[in-house]
C-alpha cells in the first residue's frame, strides 16, 4: 500500500527538471482546461449536491497547486485529467473524507494508507501508460490507484493481500463504474501469472528486492515502477525490460509499507 516521499527528497527542496517558462505555460493551459471542465460539470449534470461541488473544486485545486505546479512538475495531460476526475474521497473512510484532497497520505484501515496525490500522479506518469496497455498493480489498498489507471489504460489487474481491503476496494470500484479493473485477494509477490504478460507493473508496497515473478510477468519492452528497501531506506525505481534484461533508474526516495506474504517466507523476515 502506498505512502509518501521521504522528507529529505521532498519536492519543495528541489524543482524538477523541465520547469522553464514553456513547461509552465503547458501546465497553466492544462489547469485552465481542467477548471473549465469542472465549471461546466454542474450545468450539464443538473442539480448536484453542494458537497460534490466542493469535492470537485478541491480536486481542481489539488491538480493546480499540488501536481501541475512548477515545484512538482506533473505535466502529462492525461494523468492530470484522470487526477481531476477520479473522486478520491470515495476511496477513503468517511472520517477522513474532508482531507481527501490534502497533500498527504491518509489511513484506510488495517495499518495501511492511501498515498498522497502527488505520489500517485508521479508513479502513474513515470509508467507512461498507453490506452492499449494491460497493467498489473500490486497492493490495491483502497482502489484509488487502480481507478486512476482505469481511466488511462485498457485493463487493470490488481492484487491485495489484506482481504477486507480487497473486498472493500472491489465494491467501491464496481459501485463507481470502473469495470475494466479485475481485482483479487492474494499475494502480490507472486503476481498474476495466468494473465501475464503485462505492459506495465506498478507496486505500491516495498519488498527488499524486485520479485522475480514480477520480472518474468513483465513483457519485453515493458515498464515497472516499484519501491525497494527497508522501511526507512527505500528508493522508488523505474525498471524497463529490454531483451530480457532490466534497465534500472532510481527516481525518488520514498516510504511505503513493507510487502508481506511470500517475500517474508523466502527471506526469513
Q: Given the residues 69, 75, 115, 150, select the one marked as catalytic.
A: 115
**CA-only gyration radius of the chain, Å:** 18
CA-to-CA dists, residue 145 to 27, 117, 138, 194, angstroms: 22, 10, 10, 22
115 is catalytic: yes
User: Which residues lie below 8 Å from residue 201, measured CB to CB, with a gap of 6+?
Assistant: 135, 136, 137, 138, 191, 214, 217, 218, 222, 223, 224, 225, 226
Separation of alpha carbons 214 and 135, rounded Å: 12
CB 115 within 8 A of CB 131: no
Q: Give the residue numbers marked as catalytic.
A: 115
Amino acid at each position: 500500500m502506498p505512502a509518501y516521499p521521504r522528507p529529505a527528497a521532498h519536492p519543495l527542496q528541489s524543482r524538477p527538471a523541465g520547469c522553464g517558462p514553456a513547461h509552465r505555460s503547458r501546465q497553466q493551459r492544462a489547469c485552465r482546461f481542467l477548471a473549465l471542465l469542472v465549471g461546466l460539470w454542474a450545468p450539464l449534470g443538473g442539480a448536484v449536491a453542494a458537497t460534490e461541488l466542493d469535492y470537485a473544486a478541491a480536486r481542481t485545486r489539488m491538480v493546480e497547486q499540488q501536481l501541475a505546479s512548477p515545484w512538482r512538475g506533473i505535466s502529462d495531460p492525461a494523468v492530470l485529467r484522470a487526477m481531476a476526475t477520479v473522486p478520491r474521497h470515495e476511496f477513503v473512510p468517511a472520517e477522513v473524507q474532508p482531507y481527501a484532497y490534502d497533500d498527504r497520505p491518509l489511513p484506510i484501515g488495517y495499518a495501511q494508507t492511501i498515498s498522497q496525490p502527488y505520489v500517485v500522479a508521479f508513479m502513474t506518469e513515470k509508467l507512461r501508460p498507453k490506452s492499449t496497455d494491460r497493467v498489473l498493480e500490486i497492493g490495491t489498498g483502497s482502489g484509488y490507484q487502480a481507478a486512476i489507471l482505469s481511466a488511462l489504460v485498457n485493463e487493470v489487474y490488481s492484487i491485495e493481500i489484506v482481504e477486507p481491503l480487497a473486498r472493500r476496494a472491489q465494491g467501491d470500484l464496481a459501485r463507481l463504474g470502473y469495470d475494466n479493473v479485475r481485482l483479487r485477494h492474494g499475494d502480490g509477490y507472486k503476481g498474476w501469472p495466468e494473465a501475464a504478460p503485462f505492459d506495465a507493473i506498478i507496486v505500491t508496497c516495498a519488498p527488499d528486492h524486485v520479485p522475480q515473478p514480477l520480472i518474468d510477468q513483465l513483457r519485453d519492452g515493458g515498464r515497472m515502477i516499484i519501491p525497494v528497501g527497508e522501511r526507512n531506506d527505500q528508493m522508488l525505481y523505474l525498471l524497463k525490460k529490454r531483451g530480457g534484461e532490466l534497465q534500472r533508474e532510481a527516481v525518488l526516495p520514498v516510504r511505503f509499507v513493507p510487502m508481506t506474504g511470500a517475500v517474508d517466507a523466502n527471506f526469513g523476515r
